[in-house]
Chains A and B, each alone.
Chain A
Amino acid sequence: QKEVEQNSGPLSVPEGAIASLNCTYSDRGSQSFFWYRQYSGKSPELIMFIYSNGDKEDGRFTAQLNKASQYVSLLIRDSQPSDSATYLCAVYNNNDMRFGAGTRLTVKP
């Protein structure tokens, strides 16, 4: 069974801090990796995608991928209360899209 694992949280950080969200996956053939943000009662929205090992930065967000360790993470710098949401990790391979259960992040003012 292909699994995508995330710590369910809640993860609580103070405003301005760095929030670190982690995700591991079991399918070694996975090709692309995504981070979605989902506010309560809303639909998921894509924050970042990454395909190659290493870091990818977009504004306050940095995605990190390590295929050897089957690990992908999302760093949120200068966290804001508006970042409070559930973050979903998704992994894609050969038409199969798998999501983790999500990590709930709370940023306290």
Chain B
Amino acid sequence: EAQVTQNPRYLITVTGKKLTVTCSQNMNHEYMSWYRQDPGLGLRQIYYSMNVEVTDKGDVPEGYKVSRKEKRNFPLILESPSPNQTSLYFCASSLWAPLAGEGDTQYFGPGTRLTVL
């Protein structure tokens, strides 16, 4: 089954304790991205990756890191989480960047609800 998986689905942690949220897709997609969703603000892009070893900042990258060592995986790293990073996080992937064709459909993972105390 074609899918994007995220782990963990729920996480409660404390300020300053490093954490990683994993994201994996089995569709051989080139483009992957991370979003956070907050009430009243919608989805905001954190980082995206056009291809392996190619990553770039989105709208709200502060406090986050990513890596893309393999095509299928795109982990989100919070080196020192703070309460303002409490949010719902989504990973998404598409064949290409969402610009110009049928292959641009972004498939979203199930989401990770993070609470930082």
Contact = CB atoms under 8 A, between A and B. Distances in A.
Main secondary structure of the interface of A (DSSP, over half): strand
Interface in B62-117: 90, 97-100, 104-106, 108-111
Given A43-B110, A43-B111, A99-B43, 19 more contacts: A4-B42, A31-B99, A42-B110, A43-B108, A44-B108, A45-B108, A46-B106, A49-B98, A49-B104, A88-B42, A90-B43, A95-B48, A97-B48, A97-B58, A98-B59, A99-B35, A101-B40, A101-B41, A102-B42
Interchain residue pairs A-B with the least CB separation, the first 7: A43-B108, A101-B42, A99-B43, A99-B42, A92-B98, A46-B105, A97-B45
Nearest to A89: B42
Contacts of B99: 31-32, 92
A: contact size bracket: 20 to 34
Interface of B: 33, 35, 40-45, 48, 50, 56, 58-59, 90, 97-100, 104-106, 108-111
Nearest to A32: B99
Contacts of B56: 95
B98 A88 contact: no
